[in-house]
Chains A and B, each alone.
Chain A
Amino acid sequence: MNEELKYVGQTFPIHDAPQKVSGELVYVSDLSLPNMLYAKLLLSPIAHGLVKTIDTSRAEALPGVIRVFTYLNTPNKTYSRYRIVPNQDFCLEDERLFTEKARFVGDRIAAVVATSLETAQEAVSLIQVDYEVLPVLSTPEEALQDNNTRIHPAGNLIYQYEFQLGELGLHNNDCLVVETTTHTQKVHHAALETHVCVADFNSSGKLTIWAACQGAFGVRTIVADLLELNYNKVRVIKMPMGGSFGGKQEAIIEPITAFLARAVRRPVKLLFDRTESIIATMTRPATKTRIKTSVTRDGILGDFIVDTVLDAGAYATSSVDNAYAMAKKICKLYRIPYYEHKGKIVYTNTPVAGGARGWGAPEIMTALEIHMDAVAKRISMDLVEFRLKNLVHPYDIDKASSLSLGNARVIECLEKGAAEFGWNERHYREPDKGRYRRGVGFACAAHKNGMYGGFSEHSTMTLKMNEDGSFILNTGLHDLGCGTITSINQIAAEVLDIDPSYITVLEADTEYGPYDFGSYGSRVTYICGACAFEAAKRVKEKILESASFILRKPKQYLKAANGKVWIIGHEQQTISYREIATIAKTKDNTDIVITHTYHGTSNPGVYAVHFAEVEVDTKTGRVKVTDYLAVHDIGKAINPGMVEGQIQGGVQMGLGYALYEEVKIGKDGKILNSSLANYHVVNAPDMPLVKTLLIEQGGDEGPYGAKSVGEIAFVPVAAAVINAVNNALGTALSDMPLTPEKIVAALQSK
């Protein structure tokens, strides 16, 4: 890893930057096909009720309306929007295209397909529905207590986990017990582009779906199985996306659009407006986590008991796995002699919960780091010192997965970060007593790199050399706008030793391209990046073989650099990649192309420690984040500028999670803030400068030692900010988000 790298480790702009700054890039919402129709949905205005009667006649009679669909004229088949592969566990199939029973405000009752969006909208308002209203269960507690009201036939408790790892009571002597409870809230992913899909079906018998998705092959599985089509007759094309953050990783809108296109045999565009994206797609799940730990007086953790309840909303989707993921995180971060985890996943009559950036890690790690501060305070130990005594060391084994955590450098992150941030000086200064009070906080976090140890998953890529010495790298990748294509491009360029502009990297197309599991579980750099590395290595070998044939010299006497090859000692007589490719083709019947499938054989931890300074206005309860440092154990930053961009974006999202954002539900299940006017996302004036410090020590199997960043960037943010607020005020707030009202109330009750 000591050689000079040319392309890996450099900051390149995102691959389609010119198209984005000129407005040329076509997103799905910009897509227009000949003969295209527009769909609009009727969503339930009530949180729980049976559809008693539904009259679509006035809608159908409106000129320009093609068809109207409800549960009465659509398949009775249920599916799971979370499914990625055919025989996947914990894919509860409890969802229908259109429901006969409204289970949340926003549930899909009907769809209109019409010749214009305005006509479709008008027709939706002409559909008359009579509901038999049922009691609303708006919280998991209500849902668990009410034995008479079942949201789904099998009952309101979807699943529960319970497991124990390690040895109970190892440090029984002289231990203190500390208990904390943290509430995390439902959050809207708030990608700037709302949910949208275009689908087409014609006499070829083929369904084409232009999807802004994170897993084209998963979308194909769900749609093909639902509509009973062969997979070779369903083409899913991954399109440019205006952000996702997990909100588009489940097949929410694609099955509906596909069904409509197939039914009307014309292209159909279904575009959600912002309100529909907030209430009728998916939210981050709300959770309640109680942590009870025993700790020795000199700060060593003993028994670690966790109890979580996850609010799945009205349909199960990914919530069982999401809750399970919460159970597998803490042992990646701390050395814990005994870990016990109980988790319940519960239906409620609220917007559907699903995967969101971090996928369980933010939910559990926010609770964890709030708890760790509480424990340190209880034993009067310095907050940093307490972590240092319990954090994992490099190559520790993760109790929960039995895998090595690899070169886990979280201790280094904490020590270097504390020094860089001036933690001691800031933390131990005299507390402010006036109206404006400053405080500092930090949080440690762990995440993973791919699904190895949990799911079988792989990536296939085809790298082919064109006659002029340029390349096409065909992949099943999904760039969510985060720089995936650019970093894969850099990796291939580094191996081939050629400028990245000579390599075109393609994204997922289930018909034209190879298979990839999808953009989940922070697998893209670690697994897909490694696949690109391996494919490029093999193509480089083939290039040298062809060069060997041309130069009539065995490979070991050859050297390749900068897209040229020569015999060692004869640097002046180079042949170019172009010459090699053309001669190989025309004289040796050789096509330089490799298809490679790669799967992981390890899953190291990836770590970050974030430090925040806040200033709280005790009169209004407003919190200003005045300083921020993010330290990341990244292994190797393939594209440092993009890594920094991911971290800064993760912090923007995390500040919202800590302080402002919540999809608020009333007791009747009505959503109180379904608009960006009252769902508050951090804007530029409220965003602090986010400094980053990257620890690049490699040591694991990612390309050039790289580990993930996209999710871990978000995981520690909320806890760092909450810990800072509690430090500033001497409070122990843990009910998120920390709104001004809650802060003022806490100060008044002190």
Chain B
Amino acid sequence: MQIEIEIEFKVNGKEYKMNVCPTLRLVDLLREKLGLTGTKEGCGEGECGSCTVIMNGKAVNSCLVLAPQIRGREILTIESLGDNGQPDKLQKSFIKNGAIQCGYCTPGMLMSAKALLMANSNPSEEEIKIAISGNLCRCTGYNKIVNSIKEAADGN
């Protein structure tokens, strides 16, 4: 019989209380238990950033966060962006500036970008590149992603 622990946490503004295995990864909790499949897994070891979510204001690799660590924390996933089907400024900028091709890195990229803009509303290009340095993209070559984040920030 597996040990279970009780955890209370918030995801996208909604409160949850569940019993989970203590080695449950946040990425699996989100995707399997909450059905929030917008967060992706690309490597399982914190190298690619596809699983990036925001936890208490910081971008984290959800594949490296274990259930006990999310106790009392607020998590934001890609599903929290936008308003009732209307994309937010960042999402609109990504669409307009061609920052999306296959889309697999996109949720993680957007969450890293959002975490950056939450902390720094007018980042330099260097600061943007560092903020997304842990988000790998194989399709776009990053130029348009960086431009998109810059444009979304400039509007502030």
Contacts and interface: CB of A to CB of B under 8 A. Distances in A.
Interface residues of B, number: 54
Closest 10 CB pairs of A and B: A23-B38, A481-B102, A242-B104, A648-B141, A20-B103, A23-B78, A676-B47, A30-B37, A192-B104, A21-B91
A504 B13 CA distance: 36
A649 B129 CA distance: 16
Interface in B6-64: 31, 36-45, 47-48, 50
Given A190-B138, A649-B140, A18 B43 contact: no
Interface in A10-49: 11, 13-14, 16-27, 29-30
A649 B139 contact: yes
A351 B139 CA distance: 24
Interface stretch (A138-146, A147-155, A572-580, A683-691): A683-691
Given A23-B77, A26-B37, A273-B44, A684 B135 contact: yes
A685 B133 contact: yes
Nearest to A481: B102
B50 A22 contact: no
Contacts of A684: 128-129, 132-133, 135, 137, 142, 145-146
B140 to A, nearest CB: 5
Contact of A193 (B42, B77, B128): B42
A193 B77 CA distance: 18
A454 to B, nearest CB: 27
Interface in B124-138: 126, 128-130, 132-138
Contacts of A106: none
Contacts of A183: none
B5 interface: no
Contacts of A483: 101
Interface residues of A, number: 55
Contact of A11 (B77, B85, B98, B138): B98
B37 A23 contact: yes
Given A21-B81, A21-B95, A192-B42, A645 B104 contact: no
A22 B129 contact: no
A649 B102 CA distance: 11
A14 B128 CA distance: 23
Contacts of B128: 684
Nearest to B104: A242
Interface of B: 31, 36-45, 47-48, 50, 77-79, 81-82, 85, 87, 91, 94-96, 98, 100-107, 110, 126, 128-130, 132-146
B25 to A, nearest CB: 11
Nearest to A245: B138
12 contacts: A13-B98, A14-B100, A17-B103, A21-B81, A21-B103, A21-B110, A23-B38, A23-B79, A274-B45, A482-B102, A644-B144, A647-B141
Interface string A628-649: 0000000000000110110111
A677 interface: yes
Contact of B144 (A25, A241, A274, A645): A645
Contact of B102 (A11, A243, A648): A243
B130 to A, nearest CB: 6
A14 B101 contact: yes
B104 A243 contact: yes
Given A190-B136, A645-B144, 18 more contacts: A14-B101, A17-B100, A21-B91, A22-B82, A27-B40, A27-B104, A189-B138, A190-B138, A194-B42, A240-B103, A242-B42, A483-B101, A645-B141, A652-B141, A676-B43, A676-B45, A683-B136, A684-B142
A22 B91 contact: yes
Most interface-central of B50, B106, B110 (chain A CB within 10 A): B106
B68 to A, nearest CB: 18
A18 B101 contact: no
Interface in A323-378: none
B141 A690 contact: yes
Contacts of A158: none
Contacts of B102: 191-193, 241-243, 480-482
Contacts, number: 177
A27 B136 CA distance: 18
Nearest to A16: B103
A422 to B, nearest CB: 20
Given A17-B95, A675-B45, A676-B45, A481 B104 contact: yes
A125 B105 CA distance: 31
Nearest to B85: A22
Contact of B40 (A193, A241, A245, A676): A193
B107 A23 contact: yes
Contact of A685 (B48, B79, B129, B141): B129
Contacts of B91: 21-22
A20 B100 contact: yes
B95 A481 contact: no
A190 B100 CA distance: 17
A192 B137 contact: yes
A653 interface: yes
A481 B102 CA distance: 4
Contacts of A648: 140-144
A242 to B, nearest CB: 3
Contacts of B42: 192-194, 242, 274, 676
Contacts of B106: 20-21
Contact of B138 (A19, A194, A681): A681
A584 interface: no
A691 to B, nearest CB: 9
A687 B143 contact: yes
A690 B81 contact: no
